[in-house]
Chains A and B, each alone.
Chain A
Amino acid sequence: MSAPILRTDALGVSYGRVEAVRGASIEMPAGGVVTVIGANGAGKTSLLNAIMGVLPSSGSVAFDGRLLGASPIEERVARGLSLVPEKRELFGSMSVEDNLRLGAWRLGAKAIRTGLADVFARFPRLQERRDQKAGTLSGGERQMLAMGRALMGRPRALMLDEPSLGLAPRIVKDIFHIVGELKETGVSILLVEQNARAALQIADWAYVMELGEIVMQGPAAELANDKRVIESYLGLGRR
C-alpha cells in the first residue's frame, strides 16, 4: 500500500464521562476507499468529527505526513481534508448553486466554473434545481448537494458519513455508483456506513467498530466473507 494520506493514532473522543471513541488507530491509503462499519452508536460519527476537528480528541491525527494537532476545521479544509457530515449542514436559505459555489469560494473563479460543470455532470438533478433553496430539497437531493459542495473544494481526502442514510434503494445505488466514480478520480475516501454490504463491496480496506473501539480490520473482500461480520452486520444467519 502507498503511504497513507491520513492516519490516526490512539484517537479518543469523550462526551463528559461517556467515552464514544477509544484508542482508534486507522489508516487511509492515498487514492483508496476505506470503510468503517459498525452498529448505531458505535462511535463512527464521533470518529469522523474528531478527524475533521469538529470535536476535540485525544491521541493524534496526521494528514499527508503532518500532525494536525489542535488545528481548526478551516485549516484542515485548506489542506485538502473534507467531511460530508451526517446532518449535511447545508445553507438552507441559499440556492443550490450558491451552496455549491461556497464549497469552492476560496479557490477562485476558474475553480468554481470547472467545479460546477463537474458536479452538474455527476448530479444532473442538482443542475435542474440550481435555483431552488437548499432547505426545500428532498433527502436524496440534499445528500447529492452535500457531496457536491464537498467536491467543489477539490479535497484530497473525502470523508462521507452515512451517504445513504434514509434514502430509497435506487438512490442509494446511485450514490454508491458515484462514490465508485470518485475513487477513479484519485480522491481518497473514508466511508462510514450502516449499509455494510454495499460499503464492503466498494471499499479496499475495512474497519469494524464496536462500542467505540476498532475490533477488526482487513481487506474489505475478506471481511465480507467473515462469519462474525456476516452475522452482525450483513444480516444473514441469525435472524
Chain B
Amino acid sequence: MSPTILLFLAQDGVMNGAVYALLGVTLVLLFTVTRVIFVAQGAFVAWGALTMAALENGAVPGTALLLVGFGLAAAVVDLLRARGRLSGRRLGLIAGRDIVLPLALLALDTALAPLKPGMAVDVLLTLALIIPMGPLVYRLAFQPLADASVLILFIAAIGVHLAMTGLGLAVFGAEGSRIDPMVAGVVPVGPIVVKLQSFAVLGVTAAVMAGLFVFFERTLLGKALRATAVNRLGARLVGVRVDGAARTAFALAAGIGAVSGVLIGPLTTVAYDTGFLIGLKGFVAAIIAGLASYPLTALAAVAIGLLESYSAFFASAFKEVIVFSIIIPFLLWRSFAHGAPADEEEE
C-alpha cells in the first residue's frame, strides 16, 4: 500500500464526492423550498450529459422533444383545471411558456445542431433545454399535491424517477456517451497527475454550494422561498407565491443538474440511468445533514466519496453496501436526537 495509491484514491474520492455534493445540496434546496425529496434529480444530470453529447455529435437531442411533450402536457393540465375560466393574459402566458418556448428551442436545436457550433453554444443550448424542465416536472407531478405530506410527495418523487428513467431510455437509448472535456490537460499533484477537468468540477461545486448557502441563509428572497416549506399558508399570507417559489427551486435544481452532467460527462461514461446511483449518494449525504444544511451536506458527500473510493480498493465487492449502510447510524441518531423530520411543523 503505497502513499501514491492512497493519494490517488483520495483524489478520486474527493472528485466523486464533489459530484455527490452537487446532487446533495440540490436535494436540500428542493426539500427546503418544496418539501419534496427529489430522488429523480440524477436524471437531470444524465440528461444534461446526454444532451451535450448529442449536440457534440451534431444530432438534435431527445430532450428537445421531451421538453415539447412536457410543455404540451402542462398546458393541457392548466387548461383542464381552469375549465375555460382563464384570462387572456394567463392564456398567453401558458401558450408562450409551455408551447411556444419549447417549440422555439426545438427549432433552434434542429437548426444549430448539424452546424456543430462548439462547446460554449452547446452548453448554453443544454442549459436552455434542461432548465425549463424543472418547473414543468413540478407542474405535472408535484403542484397538484402541494398540500400533501412529505411521505406522499416522496412517493410521487419515486414515480417521477421511474418515469424520467423510462423517458431517458426512450429518447437516448441504452448506450452511454462521453463528452469532450471543457478544459483538457493534466497537472501533477505530488506523485500523481490530476485532470484539469477535475479541478473544474471542484471549483463549480464550491461555487454552487457557496451561492446556495448565501442565497438561502443570508438573503430575504431566499428566506421567502424557504418560508413556503416551513409554513405554506403563512408564506401566502405574507404574499409569497408558493407555486412560483417551487418553480424557481425546480428551475435551479434542473440547472445545477445540467451543469453537473456537463462536468462529469468528460470524466465518466454517462447513460440514461447513470444519474440514479450518483443521485442516491447525494441523497445519503443530504440525509446525513438532515436535509437542512448545505455545508454539512457537502462535507458528508466528500466523506462518502472518500469512503467509496477506499472501500472500492480494499473491499470492492462491498463498496455500495458500505456506502449505503452508513446512512443507518445517522438515521438512528437523528430519530433519537430530534424525533421528527426536519422543518415539518404542526401548529
Q: Is B343 an interface residue (CB 8 A)?
A: yes
Q: Is A114 an interface residue (CB 8 A)?
A: no
Closest to A107 in B: B239
Q: Is B39 an interface residue (CB 8 A)?
A: no
- Cβ contact within 8 Å between A103 and B238: yes
Of B70-78, B173-181, B218-226, the stretch lying at the interface with chain A is B218-226
Q: Please judge, given known A-B contacts A74-B236, A106-B239, whether A89 and B223 are in contact too, CB under 8 Å.
A: no
- B78 → chain A closest CB, angstroms: 15
Q: Which are the 8 A-B pairs with shortest beta-carbon distances?
A: A89-B234, A77-B239, A73-B236, A91-B230, A105-B224, A92-B345, A89-B233, A105-B220
Query: B: which residues have CB within 8 A of A?
Result: 85, 220-221, 223-224, 226-227, 230-231, 233-241, 343, 345, 347
Q: How would residues 211 to 228 of chain A score, 1 for a CB under 8 Å from any chain B CB and 0 otherwise?
A: 000000000000000000
What are 29 A-B residue pairs whose CB atoms fall within 8 Å in the complex?
A: A54-B233, A72-B241, A74-B236, A77-B238, A78-B239, A82-B237, A89-B237, A90-B231, A90-B347, A91-B227, A91-B230, A91-B231, A91-B235, A92-B345, A92-B347, A93-B230, A94-B226, A98-B223, A102-B220, A102-B223, A102-B224, A102-B227, A105-B224, A105-B239, A106-B238, A112-B220, A135-B345, A150-B237, A153-B239
- A80 → chain B closest CB, angstroms: 11
Q: How far is the CA of A88 from the CA of B238 in the complex (A)?
A: 12
- B187 → chain A closest CB, angstroms: 44
**What chain B residues lie within 8 Å of A88 (beta carbons)?**
347
Query: A: which residues have CB within 8 A of B?
Result: 52, 54, 70, 72-74, 77-78, 82-83, 85, 87-94, 98, 101-103, 105-106, 112, 135, 149-150, 153
Q: How far is the CA of A88 from the CA of B236 in the complex (A)?
A: 13
Q: Please judge, given known A-B contacts A88-B347, A93-B343, A94-B223, whether A102 and B231 are in contact too, CB under 8 Å.
A: no
- Cβ contact within 8 Å between B240 and A89: no
**What chain A residues lie within 8 Å of B239 (beta carbons)?**
74, 77-78, 105-106, 153
Q: How far is the CA of A54 from the CA of B235 in the complex (A)?
A: 12
Q: How far is the CA of A82 from the CA of B237 in the complex (A)?
A: 7
> Interface SS of chain B: helix, strand, loop or mixed?
helix
**What chain A residues lie within 8 Å of B236 (beta carbons)?**
54, 72-74, 77
Q: How far is the CA of A105 from the CA of B220 in the complex (A)?
A: 6
- Cβ contact within 8 Å between B238 and A105: yes
Q: A78-B239, A102-B220, A105-B221 are in contact. List 10 more A-B contacts (CB 8 A).
A: A77-B236, A82-B237, A85-B233, A87-B347, A92-B230, A101-B223, A106-B239, A112-B220, A150-B237, A153-B239
Q: How far is the CA of A90 from the CA of B239 in the complex (A)?
A: 14
Q: How far is the CA of A98 from the CA of B227 in the complex (A)?
A: 10
Q: How far is the CA of A72 from the CA of B90 in the complex (A)?
A: 14
Closest to A92 in B: B345
Closest to B236 in A: A73
Q: How far is the CA of A146 from the CA of B182 in the complex (A)?
A: 52
- B251 → chain A closest CB, angstroms: 19
- Cβ contact within 8 Å between B347 and A102: no
Closest to A152 in B: B238
Closest to A104 in B: B238
- A15 → chain B closest CB, angstroms: 16
**What chain B residues lie within 8 Å of A103 (beta carbons)?**
238
**What chain B residues lie within 8 Å of A82 (beta carbons)?**
237
Q: How far is the CA of A112 from the CA of B236 in the complex (A)?
A: 18
Q: How far is the CA of A102 from the CA of B343 in the complex (A)?
A: 17
**What chain B residues lie within 8 Å of A83 (beta carbons)?**
237
- Cβ contact within 8 Å between A149 and B347: no
- A219 → chain B closest CB, angstroms: 31
Q: How far is the CA of A93 from the CA of B343 in the complex (A)?
A: 7
**What chain A residues lie within 8 Å of B240 (beta carbons)?**
74, 102, 105
Q: How far is the CA of A4 from the CA of B46 in the complex (A)?
A: 58
Residue from A54, A87, A102 whose CB has the most chain B CB atoms within 10 Å: A102
Q: How far is the CA of A52 from the CA of B223 in the complex (A)?
A: 23
Q: How far is the CA of A89 from the CA of B65 in the complex (A)?
A: 43
Q: How far is the CA of A94 from the CA of B224 in the complex (A)?
A: 11
- Cβ contact within 8 Å between A73 and B237: yes
